[in-house]
Amino acid sequence: MAWSKTPDGSFLDSTGKVLFFSKDRFVNDICLGHCCFICGAQPGSKPFNDEHVIPDWVLRKFNLFDRTLTLPNGTTIKYSRYKVPCCEECNSLMGLQIEQRISAVVNSGPQAVRDHIANGNSLEFFVWLGLIFLKTHLKDRDFRIERDRRQPDDKIGDLYDWETLHHIHCIVRCFVNGAHLDKDVFGSLGAFAAKSEGSLDEFDYADLFAAQTMLLRLGDVVLITTFNDAGGALQGAMPRLERIGGALSEIQTREVMVDFAFMNLSLKERPRFHTECDLLNETLTERAVLSDQFELGDLDYAMRGALLRQALGDRIDHLQAAGKSAQEVEKAIDDGLFTVLFNDDGKFIERSFIPLPPNVPAS
C-alpha cells in the first residue's frame, strides 16, 4: 500500500501513520481533542505517558520540579505537573532525536549554543523551541480565564485561533515524517548572552502569542525566536540588535523579544506556508511563499507600547529610568519609544536594572 490522501486533506503513509495533518484535522484532533500532539493517536488507542511542556532535563538542570509557574490568569501550577497529552512512542522518539542533542549543546555552555547555531544547526533549536511554544499553548486549554469559579468556565485556549499554530506543528514534526524543509519555512532565531541582573532565576520563559515570538533563558544564554516570519523579524530588528554590546539583563531580554515581535507584526507582506505532498514519489516538502524583497509596512509604535506592557508585566512598576519620572516612563512606554537597551545617545546600557531602595514605593 502506498501513501494516500484522506477526505479531510491529510496524508497517510503506507502503515496509516499521519504524514501531514490538514488544518481541520490538526484543530479537531490535536487542539480541541486530546490526541497525542505529535502523531495524533487517540487517547486510549496506545500507551500515553504525557510530555512535560518544559523538557524534563531543563527542569532538572534548573531545579524547577517543585517550583511553580504563574499563568496569565494568576493561577500557579507546578512545573512537574505541566504536561500535554503525548504517547510513549513519540515521547521516546523526541527524547532521542531532539532532547538528547539539544541538552548536550546547552550543557556545554553559551558559546557552544551560539557556535552550534552559527554552524548551521539552527533547525534543531528552532524545532525544539517550536515544540515548547506549541505545548505551552495547547496546555492553555486546561486553564480558566477567570479564576473566580462563579465566572464562566471559559479557558485561555478558547481565545486562540488554533489554525495559526498549524505551521509550527508542520515544522516540529519534521523529525517524525522526514519532511524536506525549504529555507524560508524557518523563522528568526537569536542567541544572546544573558546575566543575572534583576532576577536571580536562571530560567525564564515568556512569549507574545499574537506575534508567535518566544523567549527562553537557560542560564547564561537566552534564545529569542519568531516562528512565522521567514526570518523577517531578525532582519527588521538587526539595526538595534547590532548595537547590543554585552550580556542582557532579564528586562533587556524581554525588550529584545518585543523587538522581534514588533518587526514580525510590521512586515509589509506576510509569508505564506504550505506543505507539498508528492504521492507518487512519496516525498513531503514544507514550502514558503514570500515577497522577493524584505519590506516593513508602517510602524505602529502604539502597538510596540502594548507589546512592551505585555512583555514586561508588573516589572514596569519597578522600572527606574535615569532622570525620568514615573509618568515620563509610562508615556514613553505608551508611545512605543521606551527602551532599557540603549541610553539617549544610543549606547548599550550595561546596568539596566537598578533596584529601587527598600521601603520606597515604586511610583
Residue whose CB is less far from Zn ion, 36 or 216: 36
Q: Does 38 bind Zn ion (CB under 5 A)?
A: yes
Q: Which stretch binds Zn ion (CB under 5 A): 31-39, 172-180, 181-189, 264-272?
A: 31-39
Q: Does 87 bind Zn ion (CB under 5 A)?
A: yes
Q: Which three cell numbers stand for residue 215?
A: 523567549
Rounded Cα distance between 256 and 155, Å, is 29
The four Cα atoms 166, 133, 180, 108 give a dihedral, to 10 degrees, of: 180
Q: Does 35 bind Zn ion (CB under 5 A)?
A: no
E strands of 290-327, at which residues?
A: none
- Residue 277: strand pairing partners: 284
Q: Does 64 bind Zn ion (CB under 5 A)?
A: no
Residue whose CB is less far from Zn ion, 36 or 131: 36
Q: Does 84 bind Zn ion (CB under 5 A)?
A: no
Rounded Cα distance between 179 and 275, Å, is 9
Q: Does 36 bind Zn ion (CB under 5 A)?
A: yes
Residue whose CB is less far from Zn ion, 176 or 329: 176
Q: Does 39 bind Zn ion (CB under 5 A)?
A: yes
Rounded (5°) CA angle 313-316-322: 155
Residue whose CB is less far from Zn ion, 41 or 206: 41
Positions 90 through 109 that interact with Zn ion (CB under 5 A): 90
E strands of the chain, at which residues?
A: 4-5, 11-12, 18-20, 51-52, 68-70, 76-78, 83-84, 180-181, 188-193, 203-208, 213-218, 221-226, 272-278, 283-289
Rounded Cα distance between 153 and 203, Å, is 31
Residue whose CB is less far from Zn ion, 39 or 208: 39
Residue whose CB is less far from Zn ion, 3 or 37: 37
Q: Does 333 bind Zn ion (CB under 5 A)?
A: no
Quick check: helix, strand or coil at residue 61?
helix
Q: Which stretch binds Zn ion (CB under 5 A): 8-16, 41-49, 68-76, 297-305?
A: 41-49
Q: Which stretch binds Zn ion (CB under 5 A): 37-45, 120-128, 155-163, 337-345?
A: 37-45
Which spans of this chain sit near Zn ion (rule: CB under 5 A)? 36, 38-39, 41, 87, 90
